[in-house]
Amino acid sequence: MEVVGIGLWPEDLQGSVQSVVVASLVSPEFERRYAGEIGSWTGSSMVRLDGGTTAVADLTDAVRKLAGPDVDVHVITAEADNVTTIQAAIDTLAIAVLVLGGVALLASLVVVGQGISRSQAGASEDLRTLRALGLTRSERASALVLPTAVAIVVGITAGALLSVAASPLLPIGIARRAEPTPGVYLDSLVLFGGSGALAAAFVAVSALLAIRAVRGTALVGHSRVPGSRLSSAIARWGASPSLVIGTRFALDAGPTPNRSPVRAAVVAGVVAIAGVLAVAVVATSVSTLADHPDRWGWTWSSLADVYVDSAVESLVADDRIDAVAKLTYASVDVSGEQTQGYAIDHVRGSVEFRYLTGRAPLNSEEVALGQRVLDALDLEVGDEVRFLAADETPVQLRIVGAVIAPMVDSTDPGRGAALTSDGLDLVRRSGGSQQLLLRYRGGVDVETFESELTERLGLEFPVYARADPPGSVVNLTRARGVIASVAVALGLLGLLGVVHSIAVSARKRRADIATLRALGMVRAQLRRTVIWQALTIGVAGLLVGVPLGLVVGRGAWRLMVGDMGLFAAPAQPWIVLVILVPATLAVLVLIAQPTSWRVSRSDATRPQLHE
């Protein structure tokens, strides 16, 4: 046979081993010629309804009436079988990009704000001249804003064009595999609306800074230098002059004509630390979720392919096995929702499903539903729900919990129903299947042990007998590179902000530094002053950024996975927390070194006289 194309099956986007399809698309003529000789052939009908999913129920009733009571008719909608889980994975990735992009936008506002502030601060002498010439406040503010606005428009226009040019690199992850026409893409609403919103935001920042600069302009002299209560307290405690002055330089902007961008520096540090830590919370939570099978419903060690009665007695007697149970599953109809119903019969020990809320059903009148089923039907624990039995008889059951459905004949842990064995027999709509659930004791060599069970008892352990994360989790793990890239970008933005602040402060405070040197401060003390300035900014950023980052990261994680139907409590990035504090301070000391040496040796430390 000649290969004439490579296709993409819906199951290929699920991300789970259980959903892998090994199949080929052949012509009707091939089927007519080789059916029964080559391949496995089953009959099914695929339809596209004019009324969409709203017409599924009517179609189902009509087909079942035509087929008669002795024929099992199972209707699967594209949304329920594939589209819902694939779209959920894409939505999760989109939310992650939006959240991280929002943090990056905030950081860019800080960095651009610093640049605008520096530009407008350099025009302070011009402002005093313009005021002396009689220009009003609004006219002076306009004189500051207009050049900045032109630069903003040019920059955003260039950025918009660059985004269009870079569009072939997107989308990423599962969305890229699903995109049928990758290439240059232009979304007019996002491009023009987003560019306009960004321009408005940056111009607003420029206007606010201009108004502040105009209000602070004086014809002669300097404004009073605000005192720093922290540096004053440190001085009273007997700290060294370098520490006291470095703290003051970090927290006090200085006289009006030569104000330093200290607030912007602290904000940049807070945003960078909070952003990096928020990303760390998300990344750690992804790893924790993927590495703990019980969080997505796998509470046993292995799932044998079939239930073999003759093997149960031998398994129960084996000391290497901690628990043996029989899992029964069959299709069920929950208020029109087609899903799988599950029941566990314990043979030895205890194997239970994992529940998000509530408890396990105790009798045939109770059921626990997957979170996505509850959301789709707008139900909660304590409500009653209607099942439709095989003979079309309605059965009312009370919901007692939200279950994480096992990954058996399903790729979505948020969809399923846990019942007792009697309850499943009451509402099942198909013959169903049975499999063995095994939980091994600690220290067992799983591969060797299962090979022995296969040879001795005839059990089979295929690829889906192992814990395999659902596609939604797998697709999240594939986004780790993007998450790490954003963390690096945020860290670099924060460092640039601090470097900018220290460099500008050194220029703005030349007179202060010259005075300190004239009063006897030696070069080593001047260097330590700059280093203490950088460390103060870092400590302030850590004190605010760490709790803020944890809160933002936890909120972002819950937003990303809140509808997956998994146990997805956010994880604490303890390793990052332990490393972040000393690493931040060490990096700040390193980046402060060039400025500290320049301050201690440059002629700029000499007092400058003006006519």
In a domain, 527, yes or no: yes
DSSP state string for 292-339: -GGGGT--SSEEESS--HHHHHHHHH-TTEEEEEEEEEEEEEETTEEE
Do 401 and 521 fall into the same domain?
no
Do 238 and 348 fall into the same domain?
no
The residue among 463 and 319 whose pLDDT is bigger is 319
409-413, 450-454, 539-543, 586-590 — which is least confidently predicted?
409-413
Choose the most confident range, by mean pLDDT, from 174-183, 192-201, 237-246, 482-491: 192-201
Do 138 and 243 fall into the same domain?
yes
In a domain, 338, yes or no: yes
The pLDDT of residue 465: 81
The residue among 20 and 427 whose pLDDT is bigger is 427
Do 485 and 501 fall into the same domain?
yes
Q: What is the mean pLDDT of residues 581-597?
A: 85
69-83, 196-210, 354-368, 526-540 — which is least confidently predicted?
69-83
Q: Is the pLDDT of residue 523 over 50?
A: yes
Nearest residue to 424 via CA among 436, 433, 415: 433
Confidence band of 401 (pLDDT split at 50, 70, 90): very high
Do 537 and 409 fall into the same domain?
no
96-110, 130-144, 180-194, 554-568 — which is least confidently predicted?
96-110
Give the model confidence (pLDDT) of 93-128 as tens digits. Answer: 777 677 667 766 776 776 677 677 666 666 666 767
Cis link prior to 394 (omega < 30° from 0)? no
Confidence band of 223 (pLDDT split at 50, 70, 90): very low
Give the model confidence (pLDDT) of 422-461 as tens digits. Answer: 999 999 987 788 888 999 998 889 889 989 988 888 888 8
- Final residue of a domain: which of 78, 107, 122? 78
Q: What is the mean pLDDT of residues 296-325?
A: 86
The pLDDT of residue 608: 44
Confidence band of 88 (pLDDT split at 50, 70, 90): low
Do 47 and 157 fall into the same domain?
no
- Final residue of a domain: which of 448, 466, 484? 466
Q: What is the mean pLDDT of residues 505-522?
A: 75
- Final residue of a domain: which of 418, 433, 466? 466
Share of the chain above pLDDT 90, in %: 14
In a domain, 5, yes or no: no
Q: What is the distance between the alpha carbons of residues 420 and 500, in angstroms, rounded to a whole number?
A: 66
Do 479 and 594 fall into the same domain?
yes
51 phi and psi angles, rounded to 5 deg: -90, 5
Do 223 and 259 fall into the same domain?
yes
In a domain, 362, yes or no: yes
Q: What is the distance between the alpha carbons of residues 199 and 152, in angstroms, rounded to a whole number?
A: 7
In a domain, 573, yes or no: yes
Do 190 and 237 fall into the same domain?
yes
Work out how many domains the chain is built from and give that number: 3
255 phi and psi angles, rounded to 5 deg: -60, 155
Confidence band of 227 (pLDDT split at 50, 70, 90): very low
Range of the domain at 322: 299-466
The residue among 379 and 484 whose pLDDT is bigger is 379
In a domain, 57, yes or no: yes
Q: What is the mean pLDDT of the chain?
A: 80
Do 271 and 196 fall into the same domain?
yes
Do 446 and 417 fall into the same domain?
yes
In a domain, 3, yes or no: no
Do 424 and 377 fall into the same domain?
yes
In a domain, 611, yes or no: no
| Residue 40 tokens, joined | 């496995």
The pLDDT of residue 218: 40
Neighbours of 338 (CB within 10 A): 18
Distances, alpha carbon 407 to alpha carbons 250, 281, 298, 412, in Å: 55, 26, 7, 7
Q: Is the pLDDT of residue 383 over 90?
A: yes
Q: What is the mean pLDDT of residues 360-365?
A: 93
Confidence band of 226 (pLDDT split at 50, 70, 90): very low
